[in-house]
Structure 1
Amino acid sequence: MSTLEQSRLLATEIPGPRSVELAGRKTAAVSRAVGTTMPVYAQRAGGGIVEDVDGNRLIDLGAGIAVTTVGNAAPRVVDAVSAQVTEFTHTCFMVTPYDGYVSVCEHLNRLTPGSFEKRSALFNSGSEAVENAIKIARSYTRKPAVVAFDHAYHGRTNLTMALTAKSMPYKSGFGPFAPEIYRAPLSYPYRDGLVDKELATDGEVAAERAITVIDKQIGAGNLAAVIIEPIQGEGGFIVPAPGFLPTLRAWCADNDVVFIADEVQTGFARTGAMFACEHEGIEPDLIVTAKGIAGGLPLSAVTGRAEIMDAPHVSGLGGTYGGNPIACAAALATIETIEVDGLVTRAQEIEALMMERLHRLQAEDDRIGDVRGRGAMIAVELVKSGTAEPDPELTKALTSAAHQAGVIVLTCGTFGNVLRFLPPLSISDKLLIEGLDVLALILADL
């Protein structure tokens, strides 16, 4: 348990004077292209609280975008990192390898869905892992094309920008992008239901729509891989209709197409299962992980069927920092914390609490068009009263007011109208309820 006081406190206006000073230094020293969500500078964090340099304590409903799932400065992670730093900080696994890298891969092979023989490889970021998953799939199939989906987010590197759907702020002005990337329609139950109730509720029907596009516009004979987030992240926390993922996965198996699950945001207990694929019994050929894997340290991985992972030539995969020993120590401690502290169950408890409160709020306010998500990955889609028209202005005003009130919330969605909740699993019910109460009051005021 964190030693940081677990209560919201507004010691100054937000931003406070020290944060204002640091913002001035940022403007002078950091590229203006690097934006920030909140005008405060963090000093300490733990449990469900982030404390800024002015002494304000903020309720954390973002977890560093799903990274600090086990909490900031989680005790086991702190101890493991401290011990590793005293031994060595780096040798490069490709030069003189070490146990930590192998141990992380063994755990990933054990934990990820699928009873088949697996292999793993470690990298630094989600984007880098996605790129390597595509490399592996192309090497294995000897085919070039890749299909991603509407509203997808897979990263900010050149290849992953091509996979990502949203132009601003991720792609605009940065092209040309990698070729042989195609897009298919996703199952988006809330929006699909506005035009076709069957499409919204029957995932098999939605999957057949996507498969028809893939068949006609690309062809399975040219397709190396289909990559999909089991629950979309930046795209709006979209949970596909039941049956969509299994139907798509079965089609891939029948057509020698590698099925890649991008679980960068959904992995490691976030959705009330160790991995979101488990909710529908999906066993991906390759699974990409990052974010919650190492308690805040940069680490990512690709895990999958041994014959696919072993397809690239020796030294075809790697990177100077991939599987850094400190990050590996943090990952092993994070996995232990999730398993020993029962954090999968804790994510389910958070889902029950949040869904009950948000559905009550939805019943009282027709500007809440949809409430969706799983585990501690919950979203509210905001619309203009009496319609289903996205309301990004309301979303922006609500988040800005929440930040002023000491509650960290994030937005997402293709239309900029989705409020997303990613609390650390270490947060208390009391803080969670208080954060939601603050948001409800703000929404009423707006």
Structure 2
Amino acid sequence: MSATERAIASAEAHSAHNYHPLPVVVASADGSWMTDVEGRRYLDMLAGYSALNFGHGNRRLIDAAKAQLERVTLTSRAFFHDRFAEFCTQLAEMCGMEMVLPMNTGAEAVETAVKTARKWGYKVKGVPPGQAKIVVAANNFHGRTTTIISFSTDPEARADFGPYTPGFEIVPYGDLTALEHAVSANTVAVMLEPIQGEAGVLVPPPGYLAGVRELTRERNVLFIADEIQSGLGRTGRTFACEHEGVVPDMYILGKALGGGVVPVSAVVSSDEVLGVYRPGEHGSTFGGNPLACAVALEVIAMLRSGEFQQRATELGEHLHHELGLLVGGGAVEAVRGRGLWAGVDIAPSHGTGREISEKLMDRGVLVKDTHGSTIRIAPPLVISKEDLDWGLDQLRGVLAGE
């Protein structure tokens, strides 16, 4: 039995089967490349679902983490620490907002956004107690906690986990008319992904986000943008909402905010919205810890340069041009996305998304399937054009049956 087989067998025996990983066991990584326990190298074209926007082992992020590790890593929110104010101030400024509520994981941040919107609805908007409603989009993916899967339309995420949390209404993604009909006097928020990642990198129709912004402003409803996957450079802008010149009332951030080093998430909004909290009403022992703040501050500094947004724009144009050439040849039915982010729908005659992912793995490229027939491509923003082209060559080879 090989080292890979031993590691997989042990994992299968002693861990819950809540994931179905590709059969590769990573031992080290650098930049856009990962090396397995057998010494074989793979081009990472998934980037930890956008958590690794800045690549594996980014020197600036590792150095920031190491420096903080030598000082203090956790105080809990029982005390202030010397990186907290700086982190909150700089993240709020980057978002063009006033206040930050830091958490750890993306799902925690979504839960925080839900609680915040409801409390704002009761305290500021004047919704009757217990009547707050949040409108979300079908095919959404905001996480897997009990409340979040209560408004999921994915049977795999939802089935057998009831009873479900009430207070949500689901409308078709990209349908402004349906959204308008769903918003009522008791609606406190509309929560959307500017681009739906898990659903297959679905980009809404032009003008949709601007229409959502206009509608929510008219109806005194919060527009919450879940930019956990789409934000922080992935689409060629700091936030995907910027492609339509839209600023929501609240950003939900995560994944790349921790640079692939530590889990960091945050809700960012105005003083009116986040100012509804009082001590003891919400919290997290690790949320906003010194190590997380140190890494996130370096992420913010890197994004300020605009370098990564520019790379995502330029390489993204190249990626989508090359992928677009595959459509109509019989193997690829559609390509969607923005920046260095793409969903590729594989024709059933050429295999499932899982089968294509496995064949790419055999050729040294790592991607991941979703919803049966789609593969997602989201390399680190530091990937070179040469490596990106090599990865695309491997995809062409797989689709050609080579």
**TM-score, normalised with respect to structure 2:** 0.94
Picking from 257, 262, 265, the partner of 1:293 is 257
CA contact (8 A) 2:331 2:399 kept: no
Deviation at 1:165, TM superposition (A): 2.2
Deviation at 1:340, TM superposition (A): 3.6
Q: In structure 2, what is the Cα distance between the partners aligned to 1:53 and 1:251?
A: 53
Q: Where does 1:212-291 land on structure 2 (aligned, <5 Å)?
A: 212=181, 214-215=182-183, 220-291=184-255
- Structure 2 residue aligned with 1:200: none
Does residue 100 (structure 1) correspond to residue 83 (structure 2)? The answer is: yes
Deviation at 1:316, TM superposition (A): 1.8
1:242-269 deviation per Cα after TM superposition (whole angstroms, max 9, x unaligned)? 1111111211111111110000001110
Q: In structure 2, what is the Cα distance between the partners aligned to 1:352 and 1:57?
A: 26
Deviation at 1:384, TM superposition (A): 4.3
Deviation at 1:339, TM superposition (A): 3.1
- Structure 2 residue aligned with 1:162: 150
- Structure 2 residue aligned with 1:404: 362
Picking from 177, 184, 207, the partner of 2:164 is 177
Q: In structure 1, what is the Cα distance between the partners aligned to 2:180 and 2:305?
A: 41
Q: Where does 1:41-440 land on structure 2 (aligned, <5 Å)?
A: 41-92=25-76, 94-112=77-95, 114=96, 117-142=97-122, 143=127, 144-168=132-156, 170-187=157-174, 206-212=175-181, 214-215=182-183, 220-296=184-260, 297-340=262-305, 342-363=307-328, 365-384=329-348, 393-412=351-370, 415-440=371-396
Deviation at 1:341, TM superposition (A): 6.9
CA contact (8 A) 1:294 1:332 kept: no
Aligned length in residues:
393
Q: In structure 2, what is the Cα distance between the partners aligned to 1:286 and 1:185?
A: 21
Q: Where does 1:8-19 land on structure 2 (aligned, <5 Å)?
A: 17-19=2-4
1:259-287 deviation per Cα after TM superposition (whole angstroms, max 9, x unaligned)? 10000001110110000010001111111
Letter in 1 for 2:148: T
Comparing 228-237 with 307-316, greater Cα deviation is found at 307-316
Q: In structure 1, what is the Cα distance between the partners aligned to 2:275 and 2:136?
A: 24
Q: In structure 2, what is the Cα distance between the partners aligned to 1:176 and 1:403?
A: 39
2:352 is paired with a residue whose SS is helix
Deviation at 1:410, TM superposition (A): 1.4
Unaligned runs of 5+ in 1: 1-15, 188-205, 386-390
Give the superposed CA RMSD. Answer: 1.7
Unaligned runs of 5+ in 2: none
Measured at CA, do residues 164 and 103 of structure 1 come closer, stay the same or move farther in structure 2, by a change above 3 Å? farther
Deviation at 1:369, TM superposition (A): 2.1
Deviation at 1:313, TM superposition (A): 2.3
**TM-score, normalised with respect to structure 1:** 0.85
Q: In structure 2, what is the Cα distance between the partners aligned to 1:267 and 1:99?
A: 26
Q: In structure 1, what is the Cα distance between the partners aligned to 2:263 and 2:73?
A: 14
Query: Segments of 4+ in structure 1 off by > 6 A?
Result: none
Letter in 1 for 2:300: I
Identity %: 33
CA contact (8 A) 1:155 1:164 kept: no
Deviation at 1:315, TM superposition (A): 2.8
